[in-house]
Amino acid sequence: MHDSIKAVFAATGSYIPENRIPNENFLHTKFLDKDGSTIVKDNAKIIEKFKEITGIEERRYANPDQKASDLGFLAAKDALDSSGIDKELLDYIIVAHNFGDVAAGSNHTDIVPSLASRIKQKLQIANPDCVAYDLPFGCPGWVEGVIQANYYIRSGDAKYCLVIGTETLSRVIDMQDRDSMLYADGAGATILAASTEGTAGIISHKTQTHAIDHALLLNMDRAYDPASADSKDIFLKMNGRKLYEFALTYVPLVIKSALDKAGMHISEINKVLIHQANDKMDAAILERVLKLYGIDTVLEYLMPMTISWLGNSSVATIPTLLDLIQKGKMEHQQLNPGDKVIIASVGAGMNINTVIYQF
């Protein structure tokens, strides 16, 4: 590794689908329990409780003619257009996703060829030395892609890496499962560049996989509808309570580990960019991190949130959030030179990761 080389965010991009799906869209959905029985509680009360717990008021779905690679391409193009960097100079295209391309009206994944190769083709990049590959790593996939790009850049192997997170979760959910209201579609992209000047760049990172006891907290399984018992289709399922407990137990420790590696105290952090899965869970994670340092008060605007209007778009949540802040599209939120941020995610696997970055 070259200690003089740092990986910096040179540009950001995102694509937010135009189809707004407010909570009211679920008022007439027939929600079922795991055993296939109808939930007798009034849907308005189910939705009200859901909003209270998660903070989600609406989410975005892709157009029927769009797949994850299309969303990823649009986010990548936005990042490239924002950067002014020649696309032929990209050394790596790393695409984080979990389900590949899923066509509207289907829940079948399509990952051959890789989404990275499809996006490279859509971008019309001719350079064969631009290596394109996919990274399925649960919701923390984009953050892990940033960590991998950091290694390529610091080793001297790369000058520019394009890291994309893209997903169409609306295509892999069981609509009669209340958890289906969590999920959304979207894409975010970031170009990391090699830099030998200034103090900006990735300071430290930490990743863990807790598989023995927790691997199946998020998994694929049959629909709740008994009428689909003979179907071979499987859908995204979640053990919400245990996942919540897992995140509150382990995510703060991984964040502190990354801060310790950086030799930093939480009081030096200007922003916390965390995976947008549940606003109460994210707030509780931050409170526990602060308590590790004996701090009881959360500073206003420390943790910007998009979940209320974008829902949980998995790997796309953090790069989309970063792009919105960088382009001045979030009220009361900005990132200034010298600001130090925590970037953290948790998801299927169960994987947790954190990056400490200085702008």
* Residue 349 contacts residue 141 (beta carbons within 8 Å): no
Look up the pTM and report it.
0.95
DSSP 44-89: HHHHHHHHHHH--SEEEE--TT--HHHHHHHHHHHHHHHHT--GGG
Percent of the chain with pLDDT over 90: 88
Does 228 have pLDDT greater than 90?
A: no
Could you tell me which residues are beta bridge partners of residue 300? none
Pairing of strands 92-96, 58-61: unpaired
State residue 299's pLDDT score: 76
Quickly state the pLDDT bin for 3 (edges 50, 70, 90): confident
Burial of 89 (0-12, 13-18, 19+ CB in 10 A): middle
What mean pLDDT do residues 223-230 have?
82
CA distances from 249 to 245, 276, 288, 292 (A): 6, 17, 9, 12
What mean pLDDT do residues 214-226 have?
91
What mean pLDDT do residues 175-184 have?
94
Helix, strand, coil shares of the chain, percent, nearest 5, are: 35, 25, 40
Helix (H) / strand (E) element for 167: namely: strand 160-168
Q: Tell me the two tokens of residue 254.
A: 């991984």
State residue 300's pLDDT score: 75
State residue 1's pLDDT score: 67
Does 57 have pLDDT greater than 70?
A: yes
What mean pLDDT do residues 55-60 have?
96
Burial 277-287 (b: 16+ CB within 10 A, else e): bbbebbebbbe
Which domains are delineated in the chain?
A: 6-198 (3.40.47.10), 202-358 (3.40.47.10)
Does 197 have pLDDT greater than 70?
A: yes
What mean pLDDT do residues 165-192 have?
96
State residue 35's pLDDT score: 86
State residue 36's pLDDT score: 87
- Weakest mean pLDDT among 46-55, 119-128, 274-283, 297-306: 297-306
Q: Tell me the two tokens of residue 348.
A: 């299927």
